[in-house]
Structure 1
Amino acid sequence: MLVGSRSGAPPFDWDDPGTWAPALRGADSVYVTYYPDLAFPGAAAAIRDFSRLAVQSGARRLVLLSGRGEPEAQAAERELRESGAEWTILRAAFFFQNFSEHFLLGPVLDGEIAMPAGDVAEPFVDAEDVADVAVAALTDDRHIGEVYELTGPRLLTFADAAAEIGEAAGRDIAYVPVSPEEYAAALAEHMPADEARLLTDLFASVLDGRNAHLSDGVRRALGRPPRDFADFAPDTAATGVWEA
């Protein structure tokens, strides 16, 4: 197995197509995850060029990590499907691990999660479940041509998630709903303003209620239920990652 990343060997960078072919050399199956997000400008074109190069390089199966309720991401999905490869699409909800390993860890440690989500519910999903589905799709022919919508087993608001994390960690964690403008301004302190705006627009759209429903993708793909946030929170708290 070869992992393509900017710090890997060989290095891989979505912004440098010259790194793509070395990373694809000898690959029969490829798990495609685009950074920063398939909804960003240029993503569909990058997926088009990458997927066709992958097929030319000998890859016969491509599995794409996509998002739920993202029309822009679906344009990238179409490009991958038209590459000539066997394909599977994984449309994932917000990961549990965003609270423990990614952009929401800092806010959790600060005791305040601010998001432009109002009181909308999200079917948060365990990234480990997504990984298990990806492995199955890469190795089992029965997943060819499938589009799996991957969610957890229940809907939670961000306030619900903050409360469950706080209970598991033994700390007070508050959720603060903010406007898209407030959120973009806060992000712009840590990244370019145009990227902050794009990310804010993405969150504001996918957290407008369109994804406030459960899907059976994990069960269909794996024959078992998805992991619950109620199991994730105490297991993660036990690692000490949420200790202030």
Structure 2
Amino acid sequence: MTATARTRTAPTTPATPATPTTPATLVIGATGTTGSRTTAHLVAAGRRVKAGSRRAAPVPGAEPVRFDWYDPTCFGDAVAGADSVYLVPPVGDPDPAAVMLPFLERARAAGVRRAVLLSSSAIPEGGPAVGQVHRALPGLFDEWAVLRPSWFMQNFTGAHAHADSIRADGVILTAAGTGRVGFVDADDIAAVAARALTDDRAPDTDLVLTGPEALSHDDIAALLTEVTGRQVVHHHLTYEAMRDRLAAAVPPAFAAMLAGMDRSIAEGAEDRTTDTVHRLTGRPPHAFRAVAVRELAVRPA
């Protein structure tokens, strides 16, 4: 569900720079879709941020640090001086707990006291993949939260298979049928993540995040057509066709899980909205049309 996207510009409200002796928040995946935005929110609030990425890429206002889930030699430097961590699981790994749990043990031992995990609305506590990390988190940290966003709006505008297919062919391919999803803006996820990481009291629960309305992929295609002036259509695939298509790019087990999520959408599993974004940030979540206008070229009047 997650995908790499360009970093959003931080709010212009001036903030007092953090000093190196201030406890830091380690943001894992700090150049990615939610990590970059979470970093921007934290920096704007004056929080010291260690921006973790495989190449320790520069991130405005943050301290770059190398982080690779599959290289434990970088863990020590990454958590040094941090009291909280934003966790983006390794992309495409059907068993992220195998690498994440040893890191979390080390982070706790190093003084990290709060952890916020990015999961998915489609994966419950104890479920497959990151659901196992969700189950373990409350036993590792006294202060924690699990963010369970619905599918990202940026899947259609950023660096994702759907967005690539839209740009190349004007097509969205899913096995979701006419099922509706409460698609959520990555910036809304980041705003909630920043609050969960810095509020005096941690949520200590899981939080299902959605946008303000549930839309089908046919609705998304129609909105993209309206906003961009280019025809976009949704092609309905079977579960088997979607699974086989995904298996060309990701491990078969992960492909089956992703195709199964589409099938669950078709059956109505994601047809819901929540008030979580509004409750935690004090503002309503962004609608898909507004995000599409913000992030895509708009047809001239």
Compute the TM-score of the two structures, normalised by the length of structure 2: 0.73
1:121 aligns with 2:187: no
- 8 Å CA contact 1:29, 1:61 repeated in 2: yes
Query: For residue 35 of structure 2, what is the aligned residue in structure 1?
Result: none
Letter in 1 for 2:90: Y
- The aligned residue for residue 76 of structure 1 is 133
> Is the partner of 1:233 in helix, strand or coil?
helix
CA distance in 2, matches of 1:134, 1:180: 33
Q: Which amino acid aligns with 2:165?
A: P
Once the two structures are aligned, what percentage of the paired residues are identical? 36
- Bigger relative contact order, structure 1 or 2, given CA contacts below 8 A and separation 6+? 1
Q: Which amino acid aligns with 1:92?
A: P
Contact 1:47 1:80 survives alignment (8 Å): no
What is the alpha-carbon distance in structure 2 between the residues aligned to residue 203 and residue 4 of structure 1? 31
1:35 to 90, 93, 103: 90
Indicate which of 107, 114, 118 corresponds to 2:165: 107
DSSP-derived class of the 2:201 partner: helix
Describe the SS at the equivalent of 2:82. coil
Q: 1:147 aligns with which of 182, 187, 206?
A: 206
> Are 1:12 and 2:70 an aligned pair?
no
User: Which residue identity lines up with residue 105 of structure 1 in the other structure?
Assistant: A
Cα drift, residue 230 of structure 1 = 1.9
Deviation of 1:22 after TM superposition, in Å, equals 2.1
2:149–2:210 Cα contact (<8 Å) kept: yes
Are 1:48 and 2:96 matched, yes or no?
no
Distance 2:252 2:104 in 1: 30
The one of 109, 112, 115 equivalent to 1:62 is 115
Q: Quick one: which amino acid aligns to residue 60 of structure 1?
A: R
Q: Which has the higher helix share?
A: 1
Partner SS state of residue 173, structure 2: strand
Question: Following superposition of structure 1 onto structure 2, how do residues 125-204 of structure 1 map, counting pairs within 5 Å?
Answer: 125-204=184-263
- Bigger drift between 184-193 and 76-85 goes to 184-193
Seen in structure 2, the aligned counterparts of structure 1 residues 184 and 125 have a Cα distance that, compared at 3 Å, is same
Structure 2 unaligned regions, length at least 5: 1-48, 57-63
TM-score by length of 1: 0.89
1:78-118 alpha-carbon deviations (Å, 9 max, x no partner): 21111034101111011111111132111111201001111
- Secondary structure of the structure 2 residue equivalent to 1:29: strand
Query: In the TM superposition, what is the alpha-carbon distance from 1:206 to its structure 2 partner?
Result: 5.4
Q: Distance in 2 between matches of 1:171 and 1:216?
A: 33
Please tell me the root mean square deviation across aligned C-alpha atoms, in Å: 2.1
Q: 1:239 to 1:132 in 2, by over 3 A?
A: farther
Gaps of 5+ in 1: none
Q: Hey, what does 2:281 align to over in structure 1? A: 222
Letter paired with 2:119 = S
Compared with structure 1, are the counterparts of its residues 211 and 106 closer, same or farther at alpha carbon in structure 2 (3 Å cutoff)? same
Q: Are 2:100 and 2:133, in contact at CA under 8 Å, matched by a contact in 1?
A: yes
* Structure 2 residue 148 is the aligned partner of structure 1 residue 88: no
Counterpart residue identity of residue 229, structure 1: F
3-state SS of paired residue (2:225): helix
